[in-house]
Amino acid sequence: MLHARYIKHTLNFRRPAGTSRGTLLNKDSYFIILTDSEIPGVSGIGECNILPGLSPDDRPDLEKNLEWACQHPMDIIDNQDILTEWPAIHFAFEMAFADLNTGGKQLLFHSAFTLGQQAIPINGLIWMGQPDFMLQQIDDKLRSGYNTIKMKIGAISFVEELNLLRYIRNQYGPEDITLRVDANGAFSAKEALGKLHQLAEFKIHSIEQPIKSGQTEAMAELCLKSPIPVALDEELIGINRLSTKAKLLQTIKPQFIIIKPALLGGFRASAEWIQLAEKQNTEWWVTSALESDIGLNAIAQWTATLNNPLPQGLGTGSLFTNNFPSPLQVKNGSLYHNPSFLWDISTIR
């Protein structure tokens, strides 16, 4: 018989994390611990990752629904759609089931990556903040060997952001460093195209979510006219039916989509987006969403099985002071998995 319970864990940022939706000092995750009376001594762990202001699960009745889910684990196995409106909870159970079924050692997907034989190329993320802080991050990432940099924009003046991009391009051409930017919906639909033309001067690889989600016609027009390829991110969140997913991609016709399993409902739901995107030659990459290393490890392992050559939006969870030691390591802009690492997550069992 299956048994489930959850534990809340508040992750504390090493320094305030600036986004276009505000500054985060901490964030909550809830860990599902799943056991089976027929497999004594083994437990599966899954992370219900909540991103304030963005996760569909970020609601007052979250814990009430977590309690219900923990009381009905068999129902969740039997009905894949039962938690459709709660994508983070669904993903936590999907992760916990996978971990339980593979021995409870956080080794969910076997690949050359988990054997330490292959790395995942990743982008170096530049967080929003004052220009000096962003400049310091840029220098640190370039010195660390990243050849793809992703800069969040929309929190400081656009002129200062253009100057930071100019700083990079004055040192490194597009053949040396790939530049991505993420607006998180910061531009208005009226001003977006003009700003994209200004950004195009710096040979930008792509821009994520230039305008707020839900403006389908405006986004479709941007994807058609933009001098920079557009990637949908927040636009995908909250869309659960396969037919609705297909209609959105067919209407907007983005050049890229961003896959965030914790916000989209897990691996199966994310795979649906990927399959639909590939049918219309839309490219994609996977991005984490401020998970702890429990969730990040699972996402990285899954991503490795997809064999996508583009740099992914993954890392090691080093943003937090109270994360869990993990086998994930970054070297020269790539993510590695140390197969000899032994997890110690006794604090959440």
pLDDT (0 to 100) of residue 295: 97
Task: State pLDDT tens for residues 215-252.
Answer: 999 999 999 999 999 999 999 999 999 999 999 999 99
Query: Is 245 considered catalytic here?
Result: no
Q: Which CATH class is domain 2-101?
A: alpha beta
Task: State pLDDT tens for residues 140-162.
Answer: 988 888 999 999 888 789 999 99
pTM equals: 0.95
pLDDT confidence tier of residue 15, bands split at 50, 70 and 90? confident
Q: Which of 83-97, 261-275, 317-331 has the lowest mean pLDDT?
A: 317-331
pLDDT (0 to 100) of residue 60: 96
pLDDT (0 to 100) of residue 349: 58
Kindly report, as residue ranges, where domains of CATH 3.20.20.120 are found in the chain: 120-348
3-class secondary structure, 151: strand
Residues 98 and 84: their CA atoms lie apart, in Å, by 18
Q: For residue 136, what are the contacts with CB-CB under 8 A and spacing of at least 6? A: none
Query: Is 260 considered catalytic here?
Result: yes
Question: Which candidate in 141, 212, 245, 260 is catalytic?
Answer: 260
Question: Which candidate in 27, 150, 152, 245 is catalytic?
Answer: 152
Averaged pLDDT of the chain: 93
Task: State pLDDT tens for residues 202-218.
Answer: 999 999 999 999 999 99
* 19, pLDDT greater than 70: no
pLDDT (0 to 100) of residue 257: 98
Kindly report, as residue ranges, where domains of CATH 3.30.390.10 are found in the chain: 2-101
pLDDT (0 to 100) of residue 117: 97
Say if residue 113 is exposed, middle or buried (CB neighbours under 10 Å; 0-12, 13-18, 19+): buried
Q: Which CATH number fits domain 120-348: 3.20.20.70, 3.40.190.10, 3.40.50.920, 3.20.20.120?
A: 3.20.20.120
Between CA 295 and CA 298, with CA 297 as vertex, the angle to 5 degrees is: 65
